[in-house]
């Protein structure tokens, strides 16, 4: 008697889908990835990721989990030119009251173009003999019923008819365009709770060639927004990436957005709380026009709370929860979800009855810290609109606590380390409420934020002489 084979289908060839296929290949005979577009065979922007032209970083919790999934990938990325940077040694942050001190490295990030990151990971994963990529197609529905999903209906590119593809497990990683919520409704399953929190933030991003003489270890610079100012959502970040390039993303609200016209970019840069980014860019060579991006809302489908959940279906990545990209947690959360699924499936096979529901809950648990951080900040902005949740007294108390924590950080390395590890998704947010942290917050700062960016003399040399900047070393 022939041994039955197990087949899984992953919808979406982005980061979340690729990594889901990778962990699935350890448990099923074949994994088929379905995407609407051809997946690039080189570091090119993929049509299915419109946000790919903007700044992307991997916080340490994400790239540590990625290294566990794909051993050696960190060295591979840095060998391709990605930059590994560390807070606060080479990540310079301007808070509303000044620049953070530049001290010994604590936690890291990896900075590269999204095209390079995706390509390096995709190349590793697609080398697996059990994983195949189907010709481009659009999935138009699920096969099965409210108890079990057993495949998908899809339409091949250029075709008018649909066809059926059966599977023992279907994973939706189609991103923000996911239709799973509607498909489940068609199967007569109750609607799940959803939250949509939109701060109205807009981005504009441009890539530059770094000036001649730029040090190889040039830092990342971030000017954070000031929620209490008259421009509470205006910010900017310059990040070094591969090929001696800088990627600069400007942030603003929909009524005061960063411009995507050539002549409007410099004045907006000069309007930031510090002129350092404008001074640096004045010495650099633009390589692209400014690209805008407006789809920055936080959105989450709470599938883990569903009263009924069919076997054979899982939703992850942006199809489950999307974050405002300004917080840099989207890629890391996708990796951490895949890592959590691997741990779970090593103990309980993904095709066992009830496994999909328990796996969906594991994804929710991993997603929760990043979701809370992103939405707590966006709910503070005056033009934020929400459906499904509104800030209450607890949210206001949390905001006041966060402000006290930031104000108390100068001169307190333990406090800084705790907040950095939480932001890097290395520790639970509960670490910020331990007695030691509470005591240090109550005692207040033992130092001050700096009035000027702490660049070294070597880094400062690339500034244009006319800028007048006298960055503190």
* Three-state secondary structure call for residue 99: strand
More confident residue, 208 or 376: 208
Non-local (6+) Cβ contacts of 464 within 8 A are: 279, 282, 283
Please write down the HEC assignment for all residues of 311-357. Answer: ECEEECHHHCEECCHHHCCHHHHHHHHHHHHHHHHHHCCCCCCCHHH
Closest CA to 4 of 26, 23, 28: 28
Q: Which residues pair with 201 in a beta bridge?
A: 253
Mean pLDDT of 359-374: 95
Do the Cβ atoms of 355 and 348 come closer than 8 Å?
Answer: yes
Count of CB atoms situated within 10 Å of the CB of 172:
29
Task: Collapse the DSSP code of 444 into the 3-class scheme (helix H, G, I; strand E, B; otherwise coil) and give the result.
Answer: coil
Backbone dihedral angles phi then psi of residue 439, each to the nearest 5 degrees: -65, -40
User: pLDDT tens across 328-348, in order?
Assistant: 899 999 999 999 999 999 999
Tokens for 35, please give them. Answer: 């995407």
**In the chain, what are the helix, strand and coil shares in percent, each to the nearest 5?**
35, 25, 40
Does residue 321 have a pLDDT over 90? yes
Residue 395: C-alpha distances to residues 231, 305, 376, 391, 469 (Å): 21, 22, 7, 6, 39
**24-68 per-position pLDDT tens digit:** 999 999 999 999 999 999 998 877 676 788 899 999 999 999 999
Contact indicator for 290, 268 with CB cutoff of 8 Å: no
**pLDDT confidence of residue 183:** 96
DSSP string over 100-115: PP--S--EEEEE--HH
Percentage of the chain exceeding pLDDT 90: 82
Tokens 């699935």 -> residue = 24
Tell me the pLDDT of the chain averaged across its residues: 92
Contact 235, 225 (CB under 8 A): yes
Bridge partners for 251 per DSSP: 203, 235
Task: Tell me if 8 sits within 8 A of 311, measured CB to CB.
Answer: no
Cα torsion angle, 207, 295, 56, 248, sign: positive
For the stretch 261-273, pLDDT in tens is 988 888 999 999 9
Please state the rounded mean pLDDT for residues 347-367: 96
pTM of the model: 0.94
Span 225-249, pLDDT tens digits: 887 788 888 999 999 999 999 999 9
Of residues 232, 210, 344, the one with CA closest to residue 280: 210
Confidence of residue 449 (pLDDT cuts 50, 70, 90): very high
Burial class, 257, CB count within 10 angstroms (exposed 0-12 / middle 13-18 / buried 19+): buried
- pLDDT digits over 423-448, tens only? 999 999 999 999 999 999 999 999 99
- Give residues with Cβ within 8 angstroms of 279, minimum separation 6: 463, 464, 467, 469
Grouping H, G, I as helix, E, B as strand and the rest as coil, residue 92 is strand
Q: What is the pLDDT of residues 391-413, one digit of tens each?
A: 667 777 888 898 899 999 999 99
β-pairing, 30-34 vs 131-133, is: parallel
The alpha carbon torsion through 74, 79, 81, 86 (nearest 10 deg) reads 40
The confidence score (pLDDT) of residue 26 equals: 95
For the cut 70, the answer to whether the pLDDT of residue 117 exceeds it is: yes
User: What local confidence, expressed as pLDDT, does residue 459 receive?
Assistant: 95
Residue 473: what pLDDT? 38
């Amino acid at each position: 008697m022939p041994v039955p084979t197990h087949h899984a289908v992953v919808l979406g060839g982005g980061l979340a889908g690729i990594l889901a296929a990778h962990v699935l290949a350890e448990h099923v005979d074949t994994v088929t990835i379905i995407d609407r577009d051809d997946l690039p065979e080189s570091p090119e922007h993929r049509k299915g990721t419109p946000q790919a032209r903007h700044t992307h970083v991997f916080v340490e919790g994400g790239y540590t989990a990625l290294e566990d999934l794909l051993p050696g990938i960190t060295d591979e990325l840095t060998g391709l030119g990605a930059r590994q940077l560390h807070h606060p040694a080479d990540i310079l942050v301007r808070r509303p009251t000044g620049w953070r001190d530049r001290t010994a490295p604590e936690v890291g990030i990896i900075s590269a173009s999204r095209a390079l990151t995706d390509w390096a990971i995709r190349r590793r994963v697609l080398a697996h003999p059990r994983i195949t990529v189907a010709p481009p197609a659009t999935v138009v529905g699920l096969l099965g019923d409210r108890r079990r999903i057993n495949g998908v209906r899809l339409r091949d590119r250029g075709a008018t008819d649909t066809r059926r593809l059966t599977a023992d497990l279907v994973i939706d990683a189609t991103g923000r365009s996911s239709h799973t919520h509607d498909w489940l409704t068609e199967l007569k399953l109750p609607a799940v709770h959803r939250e949509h929190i939109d701060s109205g933030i807009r981005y504009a991003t441009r890539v530059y060639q770094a000036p001649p003489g730029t040090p190889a270890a040039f830092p990342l610079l971030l000017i954070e927004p000031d929620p209490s100012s008259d421009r509470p959502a205006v910010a900017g970040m310059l990040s070094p990436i591969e090929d001696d390039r800088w990627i600069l993303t400007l942030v603003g609200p929909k009524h005061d957005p960063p411009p995507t016209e050539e002549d409007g970019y410099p004045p907006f840069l000069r309007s930031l709380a510090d002129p350092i980014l404008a001074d640096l860019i004045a010495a650099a060579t633009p390589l692209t026009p400014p690209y805008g991006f407006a789809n920055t809302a936080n959105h989450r489908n709470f599938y883990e709370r569903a009263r009924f959940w069919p076997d054979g279906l899982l939703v992850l990545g942006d199809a489950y929860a999307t974050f405002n990209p300004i917080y840099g947690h989207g890629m890391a959360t996708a990796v951490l979800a895949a890592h959590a699924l691997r741990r779970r499936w090593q103990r309980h096979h993904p095709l066992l009855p009830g496994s999909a529901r328990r796996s969906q809950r594991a994804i929710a648990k991993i997603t929760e810290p990043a979701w809370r951080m992103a939405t707590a900040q966006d709910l503070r902005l005056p033009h934020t609109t929400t459906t499904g949740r509104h800030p209450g007294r607890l949210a206001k108390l949390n905001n006041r606590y966060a402000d006290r924590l930031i104000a108390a950080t100068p001169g307190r390395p333990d406090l800084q380390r705790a907040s950095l590890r939480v932001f890097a998704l290395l520790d639970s947010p509960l670490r910020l409420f331990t007695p030691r942290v509470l005591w240090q917050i109550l005692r207040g700062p033992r130092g001050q934020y700096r009035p000027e960016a702490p660049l070294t003399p070597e880094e400062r040399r690339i500034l244009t002489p006319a800028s007048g900047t006298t960055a503190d070393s």
